[in-house]
Amino acid sequence: MHPPINSWQSLPVADIQSTFGGFTNWVLCGGRSIDWILGKTTREHGDTDIGVFRSDLIACLNSIDQQRVYLCDPPGQLLAWDGISIPEHVHDIWITNADYGHWTIQLMIYDDTPPIRSSIDAIHESPGPKANMRLQATGSGC
């Protein structure tokens, strides 16, 4: 049984890495990242948003107790992770705290196929400034 939908408890930034153990390929996102950059709290935050590329997702989730992991399966369902796969249509995952009483982390999955890329050669060869530069990325927040 997971915590109530609105039962969020913000995780201190200093405690994030201990949640992921040896997994380090994550990035702080959302309002907490702005606070971290500014070096001050701009407002209270209910959750901690963390970004992870889909290609790193299984390694990330394997670093967390499986019983703490719930897939946000559109439209509006939270499904316990089976420990095996993540459907392509899932872009958010909620993680509970260690005693399963509150949500603490929202993992935002960023698709990295096709990879984010920029062609420096295309920029230099283009007839106008940056006319042919193309950045490709997909992903979704909550």
Residues in a beta bridge with 81: none
Angle, CA 4 vertex, CA 65 and CA 15 arms, to 5°: 45
pTM of the predicted protein model: 0.77
* Mean pLDDT of the residues in the chain: 82
The predicted structure's pLDDT at residue 36:
87
Helix (H, G, I), strand (E, B) or coil at 107: strand
Confidence band of 52 (pLDDT split at 50, 70, 90): very high
Minimum mean pLDDT among 5-14, 84-93, 115-124: which range? 115-124
Nearest to 107 by CA among 60, 63, 65: 60
Nearest to 73 by CA among 90, 95, 61, 88: 90
The predicted structure's pLDDT at residue 116:
52
**Average pLDDT for 51-78:** 94
For residue range 92-124, list pLDDT tens digits in order.
999 999 999 999 999 999 998 765 555 454 544
Set out the domains of the chain in order of their start, with CATH numbers.
13-115 (3.30.460)
The predicted structure's pLDDT at residue 99:
93
Distance CA 109, CA 54 (A): 6
